[in-house]
Amino acid sequence: MKTQSPIAPPARPGRGGVPTETTLDAGEPLAAQTSIRITRRHGRHGYAELLGLSDSSAAKLHEQVKAGLPYSALDRLQERLDHDLVDLPRVIHIPERTLQRRKAEGRLQPDESDRLLRFARILWKTIELFDGDLDTAVRWLVAPVVGLGGLTPLELAQSEPGTLEVEALIGRLEHGVFA
Q: Summarize pLDDT for 65-78 with one digit per residue, the tens.
A: 999 999 999 999 99
Distance CA 120, CA 77 (A): 8
Q: How many residues does the chain have?
A: 179
Given this model, what pLDDT does residue 81 score?
Answer: 82
Given this model, what pLDDT does residue 148 score?
Answer: 94
Asked if residue 30 has pLDDT above 60, the reply is no
Residue 18's SS3 state is coil
> Residue 29: in which H helix or E strand, if any?
none
Q: How many CB atoms are located within 10 Å of the residue 145 CB?
A: 17
Asked if residue 34 has pLDDT above 80, the reply is no
DSSP alpha helix (H) spans, the chain: 58-67, 71-81, 88-91, 96-105, 110-129, 134-141, 153-156, 160-174
Name, of 2-16, 20-34, 53-67, 118-132, the range with top average pLDDT. Answer: 118-132
Given this model, what pLDDT does residue 9 score?
Answer: 34
Nearest to 78 by CA among 118, 35, 107, 46: 35
Mean pLDDT of the chain: 79
Model confidence over 90-144: pLDDT tens digits? Answer: 999 999 999 999 999 999 999 999 999 999 999 999 999 999 999 999 999 999 9
Asked if residue 41 has pLDDT above 90, the reply is no
The residue ranking higher by pLDDT, 94 or 17, is 94
Model confidence over 143-155: pLDDT tens digits? Answer: 999 989 999 999 9
Q: How far is CA 11 from CA 15, 28, 30, 39, 49, in A?
A: 12, 11, 10, 9, 19
Instruction: Collect all residues with Cβ–Cβ distance below 8 Å to 177 and sequence separation of at least 6.
Output: none
